[in-house]
């Protein structure tokens, strides 16, 4: 069943678990992630962004059809829209939610641009995730010239008030992409953010962060964990392990899918949302159809 990001994350926040937001930019991975969610009786968030495809309208329709047919709650987000055009296209395509990422801009510009998109999105019942502080790339993050900036709790509280965003990505020590070592998460900072920020918190850069770190972060207030690289790696490893050559190549997609599925299933356990699926609320479903 297709649900809104607010219903998805509102429940996660209230019950103290996280939901993996998995990169699924094609039919194979979309189907695989939903079927694994059904097997685990878990809610699921699907991520698609321009970094994976520019076929925004096509994927919004595909995800909507698949999500409505699913026996578990599913929602989707148009991830990391980083300028006006990308954000508006996500809204037009009909994604249930979009991420409006202006986190590399100074506070005032970030807040002003997010607030503008929230106005558009909320007018058509689409949720918005924004980011304060900045989750940079892993390579820069590990070096001296990091472009990551930890989230300042007071700024985060003000940002939610200024923008009316539905959920907030925070920077507590993770980074996008592949780490050179396991990152040190600032759980003290997360604790403070979870106490002060009124909307559900989101962790970007979930790949390579370590199961224990992710589980702990979800118990402490992270409601959505974005994972991309790790899933691609699991798919790639499955292909390498099965020694793709000759006619074995005919098994290319099934083998890739197997690797992807295994890791998605693992993420439900790590985030603590396995078994947390709920039944359709007719009232909400009807609202979504408007």
Beta carbon nearer to Zn ion, 169 or 277: 169
Tell me the per-residue interface mask from 147 to 186 with Zn ion, x by CB under 5 A, - otherwise. ----------------------------------------
Beta carbon nearer to Zn ion, 80 or 263: 80
Q: How far is the CB of 102 from Zn ion (least distance, A)?
A: 13
Q: Which stretch binds Zn ion (CB under 5 A): 82-90, 119-127, 197-205, 269-277?
A: 197-205
C-beta of residue 111 within 8 angstroms of C-beta of residue 155: no
C-beta of residue 271 within 8 angstroms of C-beta of residue 214: yes
What does the angle CA 11 – CA 219 – CA 14 come to, to the nearest 5 degrees?
20
DSSP 156-212: HHHHHHHH--SEEEE-SS--BS--SS-----HHHHHHHHHH--SPEEE---TTS-HH
**Residue 273 C-beta-side C-alpha neighbours within 13 Å:** 35
Annotated active-site residue in 54, 65, 79, 147: 79
Q: How far is the CB of 238 from Zn ion (least distance, A)?
A: 24
Q: Which stretch binds Zn ion (CB under 5 A): 58-66, 84-92, 146-154, 200-208?
A: 200-208
d(CA 168, CA 148): 16
Q: How far is the CB of 170 from Zn ion (least distance, A)?
A: 12
d(CA 224, CA 202): 5
- Residue 162: active-site member: no
Beta carbon nearer to Zn ion, 228 or 239: 228
Q: How far is the CB of 169 from Zn ion (least distance, A)?
A: 7
User: Which residue number places its CB atom closest to Zn ion?
Assistant: 204
Does position 11 interact with Zn ion (CB under 5 A)? The reply is no
With contacts defined by CB under 5 A, how many residues of the chain interact with Zn ion? 1
C-beta of residue 224 within 8 angstroms of C-beta of residue 21: yes
Does position 204 interact with Zn ion (CB under 5 A)? The reply is yes
In terms of C-beta density within 10 A (0-12 exposed, 13-18 middle, 19 or more buried), how is residue 168 classed?
A: buried
Beta carbon nearer to Zn ion, 13 or 204: 204
In terms of C-beta density within 10 A (0-12 exposed, 13-18 middle, 19 or more buried), how is residue 231 classed?
A: buried
Q: How far is the CB of 204 from Zn ion (least distance, A)?
A: 3
Active-site positions read 79
Binding footprint of Zn ion on the chain (CB under 5 A): 204
């Amino acid at each position: 069943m297709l649900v809104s990001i607010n219903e998805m994350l509102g429940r996660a926040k209230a019950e103290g678990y996280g939901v993996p937001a998995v990169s699924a930019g094609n039919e194979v991975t979309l189907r695989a992630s939903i079927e694994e969610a059904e097997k685990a009786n878990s809610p699921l968030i699907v991520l698609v962004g321009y970094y994976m495809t520019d076929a925004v309208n096509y994927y919004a329709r595909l995800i909507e059809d698949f999500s409505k047919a699913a026996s578990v709650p599913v929602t989707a987000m148009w991830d990391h829209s980083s300028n006006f055009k990308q954000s508006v296209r996500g809204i037009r395509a009909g994604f249930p939610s979009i991420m409006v990422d202006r986190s590399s801009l100074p506070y005032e510009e970030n807040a002003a641009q997010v607030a503008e998109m929230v106005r558009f999105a909320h007018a058509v019942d689409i949720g918005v995730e924004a980011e304060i502080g900045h989750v940079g790339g892993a390579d820069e993050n590990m070096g001296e010239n990091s472009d990551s900036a930890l989230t300042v709790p007071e700024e985060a509280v003000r940002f939610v008030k200024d923008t009316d965003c539905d959920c907030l990505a925070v920077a507590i020590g993770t980074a996008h992409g592949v780490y050179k070592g396991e990152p040190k998460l600032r759980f003290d900072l997360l604790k403070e953010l979870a106490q002060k920020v009124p909307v559900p918190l989101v962790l970007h850069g979930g790949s390579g962060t370590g199961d224990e770190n992710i589980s702990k972060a979800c118990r402490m207030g992270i409601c959505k964990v974005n994972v991309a690289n790790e899933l691609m790696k699991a798919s790639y490893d499955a292909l390498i392990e099965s020694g793709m050559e000759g006619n074995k190549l005919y098994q290319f997609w099934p083998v890739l899918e197997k690797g992807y599925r295994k890791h998605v299933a693992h993420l439900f356990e790590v985030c603590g949302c396995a078994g947390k699926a709920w039944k359709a609320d007719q009232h909400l479903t009807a609202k979504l159809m408007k």
